[in-house]
Homo-oligomer: A and B are copies of this chain.
Amino acid sequence: MLTVALPKGALLKDSIDLLKQVGLDFSILLDNSNRQLEVLDSSKSARALLVRNYDVPVYVEYGQAHLGVVGYDILREKKPDVAHLIDLKFGYCRMSIAVKQESPYQSVLDFPPHCRIASKFVRSAREYFDSIDLPVEIIPLYGSVELGPITGMSEAIVDLVATGRTLKENNLVEIAQLYESTARLIANPLSYRLDLDQIQSRIIDIRRHIETPTTAVGV
């Protein structure tokens, strides 16, 4: 049975809307009273696993899900062994460097060597500072990264920015952008190659749907 790993949180609604338009209805997962992490679609022909966004590539990599929807930020951070298929164009955000408004460092070039950068995205941060050849100390955090500069623990943060509201509320400003991220459709490489459970026709449907705006008539 076709199995899709879907991420809890910000990308869930758009993921479910998209799958609905290609005939897979998992809207039960949007129901607040739902506690199941494994559900069948309304036609009982496919299954969804509701997992943490960070875990989506794990289920896909191990073949427990044929397909998955996950942010590019996580693919870039974890580099899982999965096939990257389609940019789904929703869930836009950017990986940015931010500092306090009153920071003496208003450009990455101002950062002194060995300054401290707090981030949930340790690999992304490390790769960026390596690329500009600046040795920094990355402080790995799991949440509320904005507290790093506020408490003085770090000079800057590397974090995902969508609307910029959290930065603004915490008096932080973006000074550089590492990359942009959107939701991606990924597949287990073997399932994809062997076309298990006809996943290729599903992928073609999704691709066609993404490339054709909903309002257009025909393909």
Contacts and interface: CB of A to CB of B under 8 A. Distances in A.
B141 A49 contact: no
A140 interface: yes
A54 interface: yes
Interface stretch (A23-31, A85-93, A146-154): A146-154
Contacts of A150: 37-38
A91 to B, nearest CB: 18
Instruction: Please classify how large the interface on chain A is, using the bins under 10, 10 to 19, 20 to 34, 35 or more.
Output: 20 to 34
Interface stretch (A55-63, A156-164, A173-181): A55-63
B142 A52 contact: yes
B51 A144 contact: yes
Interface in A125-172: 139-144, 146-147, 150-153
Given A51-B144, A143-B52, A151 B38 contact: yes
Nearest to A53: B142
A64 interface: yes
**How many monomers of this protein are in the complex?**
2
Interface in A20-76: 37-38, 49-52, 54-55, 58-59, 62, 64
Nearest to A143: B52
A51 B59 CA distance: 29
Contacts of A62: 139, 153
Given A52-B141, A55-B144, A59-B151, 19 more contacts: A37-B144, A37-B146, A37-B150, A38-B147, A38-B150, A38-B151, A49-B151, A51-B144, A51-B147, A52-B142, A52-B144, A55-B141, A55-B142, A55-B143, A58-B140, A58-B153, A62-B153, A64-B151, A64-B153
Interface of A: 8, 37-38, 49-52, 54-55, 58-59, 62, 64, 139-144, 146-147, 150-153
